[in-house]
Structure 1
Amino acid sequence: MTTALQPPPPPSLPLLRLTLAPHRSMPRPIDGAWWPRSYDLLAELPALLGGLPPAWGHITRVGVNGSKWSAAPGRILVCNQVVRLSRNVTATAPDTVVLLAPGRGRWDLLVIPPDTTEQTAHPLMTAAADDHTH
């Protein structure tokens, strides 16, 4: 009897740590919170964009604070779509990521620093998505 070795199952991908505010017709200063595992934009962005609601449409532009995130090209391919990256180095909104989808809108997410403890991150994420906080 011959036994075929099966390759090990692929490692499971870590869960996307994202909370989004309920959809409203009025603009909000923050539309939710994202807690990436690192400041490596090339590693983190595909999971974020893949986890967004379909109603947000195709995100074509992402803006981040350039002083926090690792270097990245001006555009990347995510899910066979080109996404343009813009980096801002000013002090305005250093802990946010801005997502733009033509004809759909703009969403600003609070970025919880990757090294934040779970005990600190969860209340921040909940507050960012809470209708009564803003």
Structure 2
Amino acid sequence: MTTALQPRLPSHPVLRLRLAPLGGLPRPIDGAWWPRSYDLLAELPPLLAGLPPAWGHINSVTVNGAEWSATPGRMLVSNQVVRLRRILAASAPHTVVLLAPGRGRWDLLVVPPNTTEEAAEPLLASATGGHV
């Protein structure tokens, strides 16, 4: 009997996040995030863990869109409480807003999870001004 070795899957998938460079003029979008699903409870902890330390503790997250799964009003991420809100605004239907008291606000474009890599790449690049 021959046993075929299966390739190991990464224990933690790579975070698909691109951020615009710091400094310069204020931007309407600070980067792009390409989650693997619309399950905020599963997707939010890796996103928050992958943000720059300079952004500080994000204590409020607002997602825009009906696609996101129902969420509680808050959740515990890395032993810190994060408030969650889901809104339906026509002005920016695919965004997430991150707030850190005393540090700032960051708006990220959300690339829909079912987007192909070929279609996602230009969206990620445009949200960061072409920076990788």
Length, aligned pairs only: 124
- Higher Cα Rg, which structure: 1
Counterpart of 1:106, as a letter, is R
C-alpha distance in structure 1 between counterparts of 2:96 and 2:125, whole Å: 17
C-alpha distance in structure 2 between counterparts of 1:91 and 1:84, whole Å: 22
Name the CA shift for 1:131/1:114 in 2 (closer, same or farther; >3 Å): closer
What residue ranges of structure 2 are gaps of 5+ in the alignment? 1-7
What residue ranges of structure 1 are gaps of 5+ in the alignment? 1-8
Name the CA shift for 1:113/1:25 in 2 (closer, same or farther; >3 Å): same
Name the CA shift for 1:131/1:106 in 2 (closer, same or farther; >3 Å): farther
Query: For 1:19-98, what aligned pairs fall within 5 Å after superposition?
Result: 19-98=18-97
Counterpart of 1:58, as a letter, is H
Secondary structure in 2 matching 1:29: coil
Is contact 1:22-1:131 (8 Å) kept? no
C-alpha distance in structure 1 between counterparts of 2:24 and 2:76, whole Å: 31
C-alpha distance in structure 1 between counterparts of 2:47 and 2:13, whole Å: 12
**Higher mean displacement: 10-19 or 53-62:** 10-19
Q: What TM-score, normalized by structure 1, do the two folds share? A: 0.87
Counterpart of 1:38, as a letter, is S
Q: Tell me which stretches of 4 or more aligned residues in structure 1 moved more than 2 Å.
A: none
Provide the identity percentage: 71
Q: What TM-score, normalized by structure 2, do the two folds share? A: 0.88
Counterpart of 1:39, as a letter, is Y
Give a deviation string over 1:48-70, Cα, whole Å, max 9, x none. Answer: 00000000000000001241200
Is contact 2:65-2:94 (8 Å) kept? no
